[in-house]
Amino acid sequence: MAAAKRAWLALALAAFAASWVHPLWPDSNVPYDHWLRALSGGWSPNAAFGWQRNHTDRLIHLLFGVCLAPALRDHARQRWPALTARQAFVLATMAIMCASLLYEWLEWLIALLLSPAQAESYNGQQGDPWHAHMDMLLATLGCASAWPWWRTGHSLPTPR
């Protein structure tokens, strides 16, 4: 049940990013720094970490891996009961990597169909030639970050 809640959280974040963020603001223009300063009384992640780019898209990719991987692991264990925890983890990781690759290919295809300025705005690359690679890596690292809990048999905290 906990994994299903995390999977729904991941899908909700993806839906938020796809349907609300892109039409109003491309990823590169989401004012998360302004929102966090207002909520925290002035703390700015951009100032604290010296960031020059907007990291909304990277956060969404990281959370995709963190939130969806436990559900994929549980599904693999139910579908194939003979799998060990490690094998289920590897399958979940590969599924996250494949989903990230397919998403980046879709972004690339959209970029081919748009003008260069529209493609840059839509994809939120912000001049980063490694944009797609970093997004896929962060989704994979999000998945991998759950392994210490899986290995010890503990569950990840459940969102309420």
Q: Is residue 160 part of a domain?
A: no
Is 92 part of a structural domain of the chain?
yes
Token pair of 83 as six digits: 């799998």
Q: Is residue 158 domain-resident? A: no
Q: Note whether residue 159 is domain-resident.
A: no
Q: Is residue 116 part of a domain?
A: yes
Q: Which residue has the higher pLDDT, 32 or 15?
A: 32
**Is 98 a domain residue?**
yes
Give the model confidence (pLDDT) of 115-149 as tens digits. Answer: 887 777 666 666 777 888 999 999 999 999 877 76
The answer to whether residue 160 scores a pLDDT higher than 60 is no
Give me the half-sphere count of Cα atoms (radius 13 Å) on the Cβ side of residue 125.
17
Percent of the chain exceeding pLDDT 70 equals 72
Q: Report the domain count for the chain.
A: 1
User: What's the pLDDT score for residue 98?
Assistant: 96
Are 112 and 35 a contacting pair, CB within 8 Å?
A: no
Q: Give helix then strand counts, H and E, for the chain.
A: 9, 0
Say if 157 falls within a structural domain.
no
Mean predicted confidence (pLDDT) in 23-40: 73
Spatial separation of the C-alpha atoms in residues 150 and 139, rounded to whole Å: 17
Q: Domain of residue 128: give its range.
A: 2-151
pLDDT mean across residues, the chain: 79
Q: Is residue 65 part of a domain?
A: yes
First to last CA, the chain: 12
